[in-house]
Amino acid sequence: MKFADFDYHLPEGQIARHPAEPREAARLCVLDRATGSLRHLRMADLPTILASGDLLVANDTRVRPARLTGRRASGAAVEVLLVAPAPQAGAWRALVKPAKKLREGEVVELENGALRATMVQRADREWILQLACDGDVDAVLDAHGRMPLPPYILKSRGAEEDPAADRARYQTIFAAERGAIAAPTAGLHFTAHLLDSLAAKGIERTSLTLHVGLGTFAAVEVEDLDAHRMHSEEWRIHAGCAEQIAAARQRGARVVAVGTTSARVLETAAAVDGVVRAGSGWTDIFLRPGVQFRACDALLTNFHLPQSTLLVLVSAFAGRERALSAYNECARLGYRFYSYGDAMLIV
């Protein structure tokens, strides 16, 4: 199969620039993968769709405000996106613009001198840089950094936008474990009120961790699915999560993955018999049509970009024809797409 087989038409005006307010007011398309039937509801209706005893599994990664701006000694502007800490103390992997003009050993001042970055080594598309500051780096990032919004949101916005507002709205209610450079966007639809409604219905929840990494910004550069290699991302399932999944299986309840990131962790950790055990590691799993899902019974997800690995995953779970048919119908009905857009529940 080719990535071109996973395409649909979306008017640019339906790319969401902001999340729904309140978050559970987002539209929700419910796709029955057995029949292909669609229902058009709201996220607030989720407690009426799921059954008592079902288990929601969310990703509790927390997004770093890791987008920084600065200047070289010459005065030229520099943009930095911190990807992840590197093995050396104080070192980070980063995307830097303009990458080719910088030199090893060069020092760049970021955020008006709050951080100083020494360019250590260029590695393919990334730089390894050494950060120095007065105090803790994460505290400085919290004070001065901006959220690493996807390029298509930044492109669609005007100069009047206040980037500080995204510190709250580009973070899920589950966020606890710092380490992502993009939000697990299906989790953006949940509020405390919605969680209370789900609990009152007897719907349980747990969390695991996948630190969303560089792959979310990387373009697909091959035509064939078999030739694509996913970026590796760090994951963890704690013992309590594994126990809750086992208990849901024992009582015959559904395990509902909140987002493609949760689905990827569950399928990474699942044994051949579907048992999910506690553990941690790195995954580059690519879920595409033909794979057998072992741990996920339902998937709550956003609407993803055409010809993307995330749309391929949705197609693997729902079936390509049914997934694309649902996408086209939701586009026709005016759904809002991508990170800040509406949601789909596949059952």
Delimiting residues of CATH 2.40.10.240 domain(s) in the chain: 67-144
pLDDT value of position 160:
53
**149-202 pLDDT, tens digit each:** 988 887 777 655 667 789 999 999 999 999 999 999 999 999 999 999 999 999
Delimiting residues of CATH 3.40.1780.10 domain(s) in the chain: 3-63+167-346
* 81 Cβ neighbours under 8 A, 6+ residues apart: 66, 67, 68, 94, 95, 96, 148, 181, 217
Q: Could you tell me the two tokens for 126?
A: 């990334």
Residue 285: Cβ within 10 Å count: 17
Residue type, 314: V
Asked whether the predicted pLDDT for residue 27 surpasses 80, the reply is yes
Cα(345)–Cα(28) distance, integer angstroms: 7
- Are the C-beta atoms of residues 242 and 40 closer than 8 Å to each other? no
CATH topology of domain 3-63+167-346: QueA-like (3.40.1780)
Cα(95)–Cα(126) distance, integer angstroms: 5
pLDDT value of position 195:
98
**234-276 pLDDT, tens digit each:** 999 999 999 999 999 999 999 999 999 999 999 999 999 999 9
Classified as helix, coil or strand, 180 is strand
Percent of the chain with pLDDT over 70: 97
Q: Could you tell me the two tokens for 144?
A: 């001065």
Asked whether the predicted pLDDT for residue 324 surpasses 90, the reply is yes
Entry pTM: 0.94
**Confidence class of residue 143 from pLDDT cuts 50, 70 and 90?**
very high
pLDDT value of position 57:
98
Cα(125)–Cα(265) distance, integer angstroms: 26
pLDDT value of position 206:
98
CATH 2.120.10.90: does it fit domain 67-144?
A: no
Classified as helix, coil or strand, 5 is helix
**286-314 pLDDT, tens digit each:** 999 999 999 999 999 999 999 999 999 99
- Are the C-beta atoms of residues 32 and 150 closer than 8 Å to each other? no
